[in-house]
């Protein structure tokens, strides 16, 4: 082929060659993937000896072995000539499709006007693929049942635009390289010239010959699309009578007018869900998969309806055939009136209970339809999901396990996805219209011009039809939490009271196919999109290197590693990989129906029976808390400010230390009861405000503020005060993963830096908590962990200066650790932190946690050994401000407590009067609630006698509030969470501070043990 440089494919190409000579005889070889090259005859001895390098080792050796190459023939693999490969492997079918496309390509008229739509324009380039595929489809249309012409035209249009999308990046890349040779007075005309040149038979041959991998993808996609559509139409012709009778109420709908495909993911060589529309306006959904799960689910809903009085849940009707079927099209309808909303959410709660009991997953917002007061599940492929094995050699987090098997697994409850543009709820309850999707979408700027370029921009979520509506307003599930939980309780109790019946029904699912989600579908889609970059489409081995991520990301996951080769086959076919299981077997099947035997630890039937047997009142309460906690993640976090007063009066009762201690023990007992345990470890699920912008329900991490070290510190302090060994034992088990965690992080400096050295949210706080626990529990091993955390704090130092996340918090923590344990490295790091703060421009925001207040206090406390630091700290504190509210983290309480040691009596008296007259908050948390404010009073009471009676009065009010209204946490809607800053541990610790200020140091101020 002539044309010189790579960009020369648009000029200098002979026009008198035959169609077969336009493409080199072995052009297709570079489109053959690695695993396919192993399917033919073995490499010749000459080829295998062309390289004397050794056989590959490690994961790459495993990767090649799974592809069919042993270590002896690998060296020659990458040096093998195309002719050699062509001689020993079968010529693929897609090569014939491509060559026929080149052969049938026709030149475009040179006076073709400009294009308004880039997809339509690029579809013209790829028209030969479309013509062959649509011709095959048209030949299969039965004119008595369908409008032949319109169906063929619609298929051709859809396929053309799909192929244009597939080839767009490469076409635009070639257009950019050829820009100087394009003809036209403006960018639109030059774009049209590029289309004309590339659509020319020689231009198309040059383009596909340069990108044989893309040629393969186009040939495959067009062939698979035609095969799938022909299959659909044949099945429709055969099943039409049943469809009319069972799905359309026996009313003949007239001719089939349109088939809209591409709904959901594409599996099994181009097959996807399709929507069929008829002349009378009726519609039916086609699903090319086993619909016995849908039939089974309808039976399960029928059982629930018979068991729960007046529930009346409905399901979509179905015509199930072997390997495929037809489903009633469900039309979304608004509620008749607002009173029906309670019924809708009560039904949805009962549905949640059934889905949870039967181990369903992936019930996201696109899989439900709100039909008036009925939540109708329209996708049942992920019922009866097996629990897959986790990473090998890694101790399981019991809280993570509890979350993975909880009602959260259904994805019907709020499932917040956080990204660069924000957060969005993708769950069956969510899908809020108009919210900005967390990720970017690819868009073409300057489309249909020669300056066309790919860009990325935020994308608004259009929503779906899953939410009940009144008029044009979607209802918010948070407003119907009570109805949702009431329905869940009805459904859960039905399972618990009639478990034998449901277990028998579950046994009926044996033998049907259910989809198994081995990896997130989004990951596959991202990989497919990335694999369409032009640089990966010249040689299949380049694209294979990208797909090798399947192997590297499977490290430690034996099941994923075993299935990676099957995923690769599906990805090369342009499909989302598909695996299925049968509930009574431990095997998995691939999209090609290949069986991987005994890869599941136990059958789905056994797992579901175990789950149903585990239904209890205690478990139901746990699941109801998870429902409330997930709903809380949908609520606005409102910043670190609490202003809501108590819902009713409180009495100023005498808060003797023993009463405060008893209340703290009650909270500790709640925390212990809520723990998830496995082996020698306990952990908790908790609500965490991530990056100060989004609440998430997560297994607790290691941090002081929101993690298990903060909870453990409270329990250890309580064990010291009460002598109750059980609290200390739970505290020890809570920090059991700390040693392997610190050891693992030592080898990952980037993660250490990401954690940071902060006093609340970093290694500084972890070191502080461990040092305190070493003293409280008289445990030298915990002291050694604290020293390790000091080393990590030093490695994590960065530019952030505040108390919560940065250097000031590290300084305060190291000062305390040195006092607590006498650790020399802590003293050295404290001095380094102080020097960095002295040199920094101390212009942080207002407040204690992230502002100048914490910085000033850290410097002043460290300055006991160097008065220059005290002076600097006092200067910073004198210039500090709060946000106008009373809370600790950014409000008046933190500032007053920090300034207390340097304030005069008048200032302390003024602050005391202010705190005495303010109304009591409903939020009792340390962070921005009532106990953060009482901490300031506790600090002031050590210097200001006038603060003592105010503190006593407030302590009585807090105690009465806990007993009367419960421990309202610093979370959305006060949902209970275990953590120190916003949860039960902090409220309990605050009660201990009120009762025993001489024995319990301030955790907010990172004080060492008082001796």
User: For 933-991, how does the pLDDT look when each residue is reduced to its tens digit (9 = 90+)?
Assistant: 999 999 999 988 999 999 999 999 999 999 999 999 999 999 999 999 999 999 999 99
DSSP H helices, 408-475, are none
Domain endpoint, select from 634, 652, 681 = 634
Contact call for residues 468 and 376 (beta carbons, < 8 A): no
Torsion sign over Cα 495, 499, 501, 505: positive
Residue burial 368-377, b: 16+ Cβ < 10 Å; e: rest: bbbbbbbbbb
Query: Rounded distance, CA 84 to CA 349, Å?
Result: 63
Domain identity same for 193 and 315: no
Please count the structural domains in the chain. 2
Bridge partners, residue 913, by sequence: none
Tokens of 835: 């020097």
Indicate the helix (H) or strand (E) that contains 528: helix 521-530
**pLDDT score, position 51:** 41
DSSP H helices, 322-441, are 340-357, 398-404
Give the closest residue to 455 by CA, choosing from 729, 172, 648: 172
Hey, how many other C-beta atoms are within 10 angstroms of the C-beta on 87?
Answer: 13
Query: Rounded distance, CA 741 to CA 349, Å?
Result: 38
Q: What's the CA angle centered on 864, arms 859 and 870, to 5 degrees?
A: 45
Domain endpoint, select from 215, 235, 268 = 215
Contact call for residues 237 and 145 (beta carbons, < 8 A): yes
* Regions of the chain with pLDDT less than 70: 1-21, 40-78, 112-113, 393-394, 638-639, 841-845, 865
Q: CA 708 from chain center: how many Å?
A: 22
Has residue 486 been placed in a domain?
yes
Question: Cα dihedral angle (246, 326, 465, 578), rounded to 10 degrees?
Answer: 150
- Burial class, 493, CB count within 10 angstroms (exposed 0-12 / middle 13-18 / buried 19+): middle
Domain identity same for 189 and 315: no
Give the closest residue to 253 by CA, choosing from 193, 183, 326: 326
Contact call for residues 377 and 465 (beta carbons, < 8 A): no
DSSP H helices, 843-965, are 852-862, 867-878, 892-899, 905-917, 930-941, 947-965
Give the closest residue to 682 by CA, choosing from 261, 336, 401: 401
Domain identity same for 189 and 312: no
Tokens of 244: 């009319």
Has residue 556 been placed in a domain?
no
Domain identity same for 354 and 496: yes
Give the closest residue to 713 by CA, choosing from 659, 766, 667: 766
Has residue 382 been placed in a domain?
yes
Query: Rounded distance, CA 884 to CA 887, Å?
Result: 9
Give the closest residue to 285 by CA, choosing from 295, 274, 296, 294: 274
Query: Rounded distance, CA 950 to CA 941, Å?
Result: 9
Has residue 395 been placed in a domain?
yes
Which residue spans within 519-634 are E strands per DSSP? Answer: 579-581, 588-590, 595-596
Ramachandran angles phi, psi of 473, nearest 5°: -110, 125
DSSP at 91: P
Domain identity same for 389 and 487: yes
Has residue 223 been placed in a domain?
no
What average pLDDT does the chain have? 91
Indicate the helix (H) or strand (E) that contains 284: strand 283-287
Query: Rounded distance, CA 782 to CA 769, Å?
Result: 10
Domain endpoint, select from 215, 238, 262 = 215
Has residue 739 been placed in a domain?
no
Contact call for residues 385 and 516 (beta carbons, < 8 A): yes
- Burial class, 856, CB count within 10 angstroms (exposed 0-12 / middle 13-18 / buried 19+): buried
Contact call for residues 809 and 764 (beta carbons, < 8 A): yes
Query: Rounded distance, CA 578 to CA 362, Å?
Result: 15
Query: Rounded distance, CA 404 to CA 402, Å?
Result: 5
Has residue 735 been placed in a domain?
no
Q: Please tell me whether residue 295 adopts helix, strand or coil conformation.
A: helix
Tokens of 589: 């099947």
DSSP at 333: B
DSSP H helices, 200-339, are 201-210, 212-247, 292-307
Contact call for residues 308 and 283 (beta carbons, < 8 A): no
Q: CA 414 from chain center: how many Å?
A: 12
Domain identity same for 184 and 60: yes
Torsion sign over Cα 13, 15, 16, 22: positive
Our separate counts of H helices and E strands in the chain read 39, 21
Q: How many CA atoms lie within 13 A of 668 on its CB side?
A: 30
Query: Rounded distance, CA 259 to CA 226, Å?
Result: 13
Query: Rounded distance, CA 945 to CA 949, Å?
Result: 8
Query: Rounded distance, CA 178 to CA 198, Å?
Result: 11
Query: Rounded distance, CA 681 to CA 514, Å?
Result: 34
Query: Rounded distance, CA 134 to CA 156, Å?
Result: 6
Enter the pTM of the model: 0.92
Q: CA 774 from chain center: how many Å?
A: 37
Query: Rounded distance, CA 183 to CA 902, Å?
Result: 79
Domain identity same for 202 and 343: no
Enclosing domain of residue 71: 6-140+149-215
Has residue 961 been placed in a domain?
no
Question: Cα dihedral angle (362, 364, 367, 368), rounded to 10 degrees?
Answer: 130
Give the closest residue to 352 by CA, choosing from 488, 486, 506: 488
Hey, how many other C-beta atoms are within 10 angstroms of the C-beta on 18?
Answer: 7
Hey, how many other C-beta atoms are within 10 angstroms of the C-beta on 391?
Answer: 13
């Amino acid at each position: 082929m002539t044309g010189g440089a790579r960009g020369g494919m648009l000029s200098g190409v002979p026009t008198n060659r035959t169609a077969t000579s336009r493409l080199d005889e072995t052009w297709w070889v570079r489109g053959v993937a690695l695993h396919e090259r192993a399917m033919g005859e073995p490499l010749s001895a000459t080829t295998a000896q062309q390289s004397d390098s050794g056989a590959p080792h490690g994961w790459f050796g495993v990767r090649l072995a799974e592809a069919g190459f042993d270590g002896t023939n690998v060296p020659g693999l990458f040096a093998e000539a195309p002719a050699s490969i062509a001689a020993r492997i079968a010529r693929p079918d897609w090569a014939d499709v491509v060559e026929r496309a080149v052969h049938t390509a026709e030149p475009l008229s040179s006076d073709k006007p400009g294009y308004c739509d880039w997809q339509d324009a690029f579809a013209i380039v790829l028209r030969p693929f479309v013509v062959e595929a649509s011709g095959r489809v048209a030949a299969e249309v039965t004119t008595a049942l369908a409008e032949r012409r319109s169906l063929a035209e619609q298929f051709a249009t859809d396929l053309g635009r799909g192929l244009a999308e597939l080839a767009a990046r490469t076409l635009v890349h070639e257009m950019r390289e050829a820009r100087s040779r394009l003809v036209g007075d403006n960018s639109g005309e030059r774009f049209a010239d590029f289309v004309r040149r590339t659509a020319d038979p020689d231009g198309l041959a040059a383009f596909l010959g340069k990108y044989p991998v893309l040629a393969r993808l186009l040939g495959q996609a067009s062939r698979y699309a035609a095969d799938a559509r022909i299959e659909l139409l044949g099945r429709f012709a055969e099943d039409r009578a049943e469809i009319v009778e069972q799905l359309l109420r026996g009313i003949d709908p007239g001719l089939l007018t349109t088939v809209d495909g591409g709904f959901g993911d594409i599996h099994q060589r181009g097959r996807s869900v399709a929507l069929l529309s008829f002349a009378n306006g009726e519609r039916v959904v086609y699903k090319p998969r086993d619909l016995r799960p849908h039939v089974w689910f309808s039976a399960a809903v029928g059982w629930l309806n018979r068991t729960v009085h007046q529930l009346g849940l409905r399901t979509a009707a179905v015509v199930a055939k072997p390997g495929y079927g037809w489903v009633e099209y469900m039309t979304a309808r608004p509620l008749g009136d607002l009173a029906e909303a309670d019924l809708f959410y009560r039904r949805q709660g009962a549905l949640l209970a059934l889905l949870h009991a039967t181990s369903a997953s992936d019930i996201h917002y696109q899989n439900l339809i709100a039909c008036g007061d009925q939540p109708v599940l329209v996708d049942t492929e992920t019922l009866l999901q097996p629990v897959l094995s986790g990473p090998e050699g890694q101790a399981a987090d019991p809280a993570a396990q509890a979350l993975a098997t909880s009602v959260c697994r259904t994805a019907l409850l709020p499932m917040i996805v956080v990204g660069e543009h924000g957060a969005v709820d993708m769950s069956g309850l969510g899908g809020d219209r108009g919210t900005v999707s967390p990720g970017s979408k690819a868009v073409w700027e300057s489309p249909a011009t020669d300056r066309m370029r790919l860009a990325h921009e935020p994308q608004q979520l259009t929503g779906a039809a899953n939410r009940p509506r009144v008029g044009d307003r979607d209802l918010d599930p948070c407003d119907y939490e009570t109805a949702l939980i009431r329905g869940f309780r009805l459904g859960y109790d039905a399972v618990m009271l009639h478990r034998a019946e449901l277990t028998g029904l579950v046994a009926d699912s044996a033998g049907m196919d259910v989809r198994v989600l081995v990896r997130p579908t989004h990951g596959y889609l991202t990989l497919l999109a990335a694999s369409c970059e032009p640089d990966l489409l010249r040689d299949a081995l380049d694209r294979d290197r990208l797909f090798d991520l399947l192997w590297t990301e499977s490290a430690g996951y034996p099941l994923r590693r075993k299935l990676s080769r099957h995923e690769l086959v599906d990805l090369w076919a342009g499909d989302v990989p598909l695996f299925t299981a049968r509930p009574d077997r431990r095997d998995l099947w691939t999209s090609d129906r290949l069986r991987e035997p005994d890869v599941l630890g136990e059958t789905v039937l056994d797992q579901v029976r175990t789950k149903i047997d585990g239904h209890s009142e205690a478990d139901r309460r746990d699941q109801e808390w998870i429902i409330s906690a997930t709903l809380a993640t949908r609520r606005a976090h409102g910043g670190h400010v609490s202003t809501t007063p108590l819902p009713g009066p409180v009495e100023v009762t005498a808060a003797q230390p023993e009463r405060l201690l008893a209340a703290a023990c009650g909270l500790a007992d709640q925390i212990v009861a809520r723990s998830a345990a496995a082996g020698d470890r306990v952990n908790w699920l908790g609500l965490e405000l991530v990056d100060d912008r989004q609440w998430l329900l997560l297994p607790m991490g290691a941090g002081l503020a929101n993690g298990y070290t903060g909870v453990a510190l409270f329990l250890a302090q309580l064990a010291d005060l009460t002598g109750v060994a059980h609290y200390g034992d739970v505290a020890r088990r809570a920090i059991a993963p700390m040693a392997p965690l610190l050891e693992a992080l030592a080898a990952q400096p980037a993660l250490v830096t990401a954690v940071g050295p902060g006093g609340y949210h970093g290694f500084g706080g972890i070191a502080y908590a461990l040092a305190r626990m070493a003293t409280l529990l008289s445990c030298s091993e915990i002291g050694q962990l604290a020293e390790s955390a000091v080393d990590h704090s030093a490695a994590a130092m960065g530019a952030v200066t505040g108390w919560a996340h940065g250097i000031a918090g590290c300084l305060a923590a190291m000062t305390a650790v040195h006092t607590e344990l006498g650790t020399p490295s802590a003293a050295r790091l404290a001095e380094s932190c102080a020097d960095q703060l002295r040199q920094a421009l101390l212009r942080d925001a207002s407040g204690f946690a992230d502002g100048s207040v914490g910085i000033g206090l850290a410097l002043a406390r460290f300055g006991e050994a160097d008065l220059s630091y005290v002076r600097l700290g006092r200067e910073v504190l004198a210039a500090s401000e709060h946000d106008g509210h009373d809370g600790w983290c950014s409000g008046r309480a933190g500032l007053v407590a920090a300034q207390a040691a340097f304030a005069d009596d008048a200032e302390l008296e003024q602050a005391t009067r202010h705190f005495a007259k303010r109304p009591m908050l409903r939020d009792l948390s340390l962070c921005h609630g009532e106990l953060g404010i009482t901490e300031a009073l506790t600090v002031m009471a050590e210097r200001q006698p006038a603060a003592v009676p105010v503190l006593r009065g407030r302590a009585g009010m807090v105690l009465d509030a806990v007993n009367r209204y419960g421990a309202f946490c610093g979370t959305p809607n006060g949902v209970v969470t275990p953590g120190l800053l916003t949860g039960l541990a902090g409220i309990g610790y605050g009660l201990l501070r009120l009762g025993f200020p001489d024995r319990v140091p301030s955790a907010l101020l990172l004080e060492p043990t008082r001796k």
